[in-house]
Amino acid sequence: MMPSSSPQPRNKSDWLWNNRLSLLWLCLAAVIILFALLGAKELWTQEWRWANIPQQMLLRHDFFHPYLGGVPYYDKPLLSYWFIIGFSYLLGSLNLWAIRLPSAIAGLIVVLCTVSIGKKLSSRSTGLIAGWLLITTYYFIFWSRVGNSDMLNLAGIMLAVCWYFKNQHKTSFLSYLVFCVILSVASLIKGLIAPALTLIALLPHLLYQSTWQKHLNKKLLLAVLVAGLFYVTPFAISTYINPHGYTESGLREVLQENILRYIHPFDHVEPFYVYFIYLPTYLLPWTVLFIPALITFPKRWRTLLTGERWFFWSTVFIFVFLTISGSRRDYYILPILPFAILLTAEWISASLLKNGALYRFTKKSALIIYGLVLLYFAVITPIAYSGGGPEVFIKLVRQTAEKTKPWPQWHFVLLDTRNNLSFYLHSSHLVDIQKASEETNAHPTRENILKSFPQLIATQPDTILLIGENFFEPIKNDVANRYTILYLPLNRKDQWLKEKPDDLPIALIPNPLISSAPSHD
């Protein structure tokens, strides 16, 4: 096997990938694109879970029994919620920055780990190219700026892989323990998918020259045991310290979500070929380079280092593992991105020795795409979500409500309207989230709506009701004299697109003289 040489810079002005400060420039660019105006976009649909569960933990003073919308919900382990709570204490409140900072930091960790692996297994140029490709991959940046567990999960995988390659020749207990604890922590974020994908990614390297035999020893088994005890501790606390009779079992959910879902999926069932569509989509705009890098790989086999061959095999192994699973969703493919990017970056780096044009094209393209992606996330998106939306709406509600009594004294009921409003309320009390009956959803008549939501019949002077416009119109005359009515103002995006959703939230604030039902106090 002939090792490939590291590409050399063509001139001293090649500051992007072959300069002593190149890593610094990459880190600066990554920080800007990951963190710039992170809290400008309103709470996205999927983010509500990571807003509401920490919010309820803080209100209930219970950090081991997650509730979603007032219902026990142990769908994911606890650590991602705890990260958000930790940042809420640092920032002084549970806001959009606190919800999204863990993912953004995780995205930065993934970038640094990808660069490190590329430098370790191929060349400095490969690592830096991979870093730039990653921070200009749209879906990588998108998920790094979303408050949920997926980027944290990927960060755990990449940290474990990075640690493995930095310590692959060590057989000490400490080395094994750190590796296992990283996977244990990652498992407390999204579940057992982190250690599963890590081992799948490392499997080609472990099988090469029977490397696994060197690491299968008593020290590793002891490290696995210690990390396993660390992993089950939060679940044990949830089970045995349970004064309020919490009904969900965290470990049972782990088995259902990670094992049963893989073998016998109960939702998210898509065709087996769907990742052949999602992978090229998630690699955009670098799909145009990934495909030729993949196709030409067999021709370059003899010239590649063992680690560079691993870029290919890890990508293939992860892809096959995810495809075999019966449960498939587009963002399940996210963990493959750094490995596919490393494969692409090695091909670009090696091309400098034969064809400098491709190398220069990629460098210029990366800078242009970086500017466009930054423009979208840091300029266009904040403007699009300004001028209206839930945050502006709740400010208007608060200004009106505080004319009657202080905000902490108000209670809130969401009548089958947008759940994310509960986050923006910043209520001192648990928000009551009500769902309409199937009959009401199918036939939203006045009679059905009043039957589903008896709160509309008797006014409580300390309770603000929030209801969708689709349910409000049929009962408008029933409440008009008893409430001050406020409509959610559209943000600029909806104004430009001339979109007015049917379920646009409406606030019903009791008029000061109304007292047809006793208050909560």
pLDDT at residue number 267: 62
- Provide the pLDDT for residue 12: 41
**141: closest CA among 41, 35, 49?**
35
pLDDT at residue number 272:
84
The DSSP bridge pattern shows strands 505-510 and 483-487 to be antiparallel
Question: What pLDDT score was predicted for residue 11?
Answer: 46
- Stretch 71-81: mean pLDDT, rounded? 93
Written in H, E and C, the secondary structure of 279-309 is HHHHCCCCHHHHHHHHHCCHHHHHHCCHHHH
**Exposed, middle or buried by CB within 10 Å (0-12, 13-18, 19+), for 6?**
middle
Q: What is the per-residue pLDDT for 206?
A: 92
- How does 442-478 read in b/e, with b if 16+ C-beta sit within 10 Å? eebeeebbbebbebbeebbbbbbbbbbbbbbeebeee
Mean pLDDT of 307-313: 94
Q: Please, what is the Cα angle at 490 between 487 and 491, to 5 degrees?
A: 145
Dist. CA 219–CA 176, nearest whole Å: 7
Q: How much is the pLDDT for 210?
A: 79
Are residues 388 and 491 in contact, defined by beta-carbon separation less than 8 angstroms? yes
In degrees rounded to 5, what are phi and psi of residue 61? 55, 40
pLDDT in tens, 371-419: 999 999 999 999 999 999 999 999 999 999 999 999 999 999 999 999 9
Going by DSSP bridges, is the β-strand pair 411-415/463-468 parallel, antiparallel, or unpaired?
A: parallel
pLDDT band at 7 (very low <50, low <70, confident <90, very high): very low
Tokens of residue 78, six digits: 């606890």
Question: Can you say how many angstroms the Cα of residue 18 is from the centroid of all Cα atoms in its chain?
Answer: 32
Give the closest residue to 258 by CA, choosing from 31, 74, 462: 74
Residue 246: pLDDT above 50? yes
Q: pLDDT (tens digit, 9 = 90+) per residue, 440-489?
A: 999 999 999 999 999 999 889 999 999 999 999 999 999 989 999 999 99
Mean pLDDT of the chain: 90
Q: Is residue 1 predicted with pLDDT exceeding 50?
A: no
pLDDT band for 62, please (50, 70, 90 cuts).
Answer: very high
Tell me: the pLDDT tens digits for 137-167?
999 999 999 999 999 999 999 999 999 999 9
Work out the end-to-end distance of the chain between its first and last CA atoms, rounded to an integer number of angstroms.
79
Does the pLDDT value for residue 17 go beyond 90?
no
pLDDT score of 427 more than 80: yes
Comparing 77-81, 173-177, 190-194, 347-351, the range with the smallest average pLDDT is 347-351
Query: What is the structure's pLDDT at 244?
Result: 81
pLDDT at 115: 97
Residue 252 pLDDT: 86
In the predicted structure, residue 4 carries a pLDDT above the cut 50? no
The pLDDT of 107-134, averaged and rounded, is 96
Nearest CA among 44, 88, 38, 35 for reference residue 389 = 44
Q: Which percentage of the chain shows pLDDT scores above 70?
A: 93
Q: Which residue has the higher pLDDT, 267 or 13?
A: 267
Q: Would you place residue 339 in the very low, low, confident or very high pLDDT band (cuts 50, 70, 90)?
A: very high
Please give the average per-residue pLDDT across 297-325, as a whole number. 92
